[in-house]
Amino acid sequence: MGQTKADLEAVEGIGPGNVSAYEDEAAGFITIRNVAGIVCVVLIAVLFLVSVFIISNTIRLTTSMMELDFRRELGQVVCPVLVLTGEKDAANRKAARELAGLLPDAKVREIPGAGHEVNRDAPGELAAAIRKFCADTMDSGK
């Protein structure tokens, strides 16, 4: 025995003002609420797959970068270079000094009080260091 539209509305609690779609009076009853739930599940699945793809590619890229070694080529850099690091950036201070040592015309500048994110920790000091380097470089004619 088939259900009528009124029967379905009573069971689902859908009144005349609510949006719903009917294939016919008796069968295939689909509400917007059901469709929205399905769309949400599909979106979550897609976002999960995209994030897995991004994470795996990021790991692969990072791993491949570990094999890069430009130390020999650094001696060929002919322009003045300013290597900046934060005073509290223990992880990168040593590497900054090593990098400057491999460049023919490099200066190392530690930004006082700054950590790894110099631009966030001391933006004014960072800007001042860059301005001074540019001015000194222009004055020297390099």
Q: Where are the domains of the chain?
A: 5-65, 71-140
Q: How far apart are CA 84 and CA 79, in angstroms?
A: 16
Q: Which whole-number Å values give the CA distances from 82 to 17, 68, 74, 117, 127, in the listed order?
A: 68, 22, 14, 16, 12
Per-residue pLDDT of the chain (142 residues; tens, 9 = 90+): 455 556 555 555 545 544 444 444 444 555 556 666 676 777 777 777 777 778 877 877 777 777 778 888 889 999 999 999 999 999 899 999 999 999 999 999 999 999 999 999 999 999 999 999 999 988 877 6
Q: Which two tokens stand for residue 105?
A: 């015309």
**pTM given for the model:** 0.54
